[in-house]
A = this chain, B = another copy of it.
Amino acid sequence: MPTTEATAPANETIQDLVIGNKILYRQKVVDAFGHLSVRHDKDPARYLMSRYVPPSFVTADDIVTFDLDSNPLDKTGLRYYSERFIHGEIYKLRADVKAIVHCHAPQLIPFAATKVPLRPLYHMSAFLGCRGCGVPVFDIREAAGMTDMLIRTPELGKALAASLEDKPMVLMRGHGATIVGGSVKQVVYRSIYAVENAALQMDAVRLGEPVYLADEEAVKAAESADKVVERPWALWRCEAVGDGDAAQK
């Protein structure tokens, strides 16, 4: 089914998706691997994500429309990310989710492989403490036994989505993490500060028993952070694409 005027996403949706990819690369959340998607702004039963290219290479021409079973609805016959089911299955289960990041950021891997829960050490990453006690860890072994660790099927996507529950992030043992948000800007913010928190939490744990944000502090700080995502976005956009307009925002 071709995309018509009526079903074409807003230019801003595409622009945020393209710039978000370049920001995630510039901020080292992704390298040649990892992906960012956004739910279609006119049709909640679709999502938009790049074809199979490194995030830093993504242009508007690379953006493909997928249904929630992760079938391409346009630009068919190309190579796509084999783990796109992460995105489709989460969009099915979580109506509140409008954008998703999947990454292998090295700072996150140790928290996916040990018993130390990733928890918010400062207000910038308060969302990590929202809705309870730290970030859940998905172990693909429990869902499917011995695999190549990748979310290659709808079933694995469903299992990952279920482990996420109502939280903003899930760690994936031996693999990486998936972060969700209400917009591209929010999920990019969350991804960058989740990685930052992981790095400084490792330092704090080694120094001594750290004091984390209390749940109530985390909820309040996360609400405040949601009101300021435009400010770091303007800087990250400027750093990633040298955008003068952004610099003056």
A residues with CB within 8 A of B:
31-33, 52-54, 56-57, 104, 106-107, 109-116, 120-124, 126, 141, 146-150, 173-176, 196, 199-200, 202-214, 216-217, 220-221, 223-224, 228, 231-232, 234-236, 238, 247-249
Known: A33-B232, A54-B232, A175-B122. A211 touches B114 (CB 8 A): yes
CB–CB B217/A176 < 8 A: no
Query: A221 → chain B, closest Cβ, in Å?
Result: 5
The CA-CA distance from A213 to B146 in the complex, in Å, is 10
In the bound complex, do residue B123 and residue A109 qualify as a contact, i.e. CB atoms below 8 Å apart?
Answer: no
Q: Are B54 and A235 in contact (CB under 8 A)?
A: yes
Contacts of A115 in B (CB 8 A): 208-209
How many Å from the CB of A144 to the closest CB on chain B?
11
- Report B-chain residues with C-beta under 8 Å of the C-beta of A216: 146
Smallest beta-carbon distance A111→chain B, Å: 7
B124 engages A33 (CB within 8 Å): yes
Cα(A98)–Cα(B220), bound, Å = 33
- Closest Cβ–Cβ distance, residue A173 to chain B (whole Å): 6
Across the interface, which residues of B come within 8 angstroms of A104, CB to CB?
A: 122, 124
Known: A109-B121, A235-B54. A217 touches B147 (CB 8 A): yes
Nearest Cβ distance between residue A35 and chain B, in whole angstroms? 12
Measured CA separation A111–B208 after assembly (Å): 9
Other A-B pairs, 16, CB within 8 Å; known A32-B231, A57-B234, A107-B200: A32-B232, A53-B249, A57-B238, A57-B247, A106-B196, A106-B200, A109-B121, A113-B204, A121-B174, A126-B148, A146-B220, A149-B220, A150-B224, A174-B211, A174-B212, A202-B203
Cα A134 to Cα B202 in complex, Å, equals: 22
**A52 engages B231 (CB within 8 Å):** yes
CB distance from A198 to the nearest CB of B (A): 9
Q: How far is the CB of A63 from chain B (nearest CB, A)?
A: 16
A214 to B149: give the CA distance in the assembly, Å. 11
Q: A111 CA to B121 CA in the complex, in Å?
A: 11
* Distance, CA A218 to CA B246, complexed state (A): 43
Asked whether, in the complex, the Cβ of A32 is within 8 Å of the Cβ of B106, the reply is no
Looking at the assembled complex, report how far the CB atom of A209 sits from the nearest CB atom of chain B, in whole angstroms.
Answer: 7
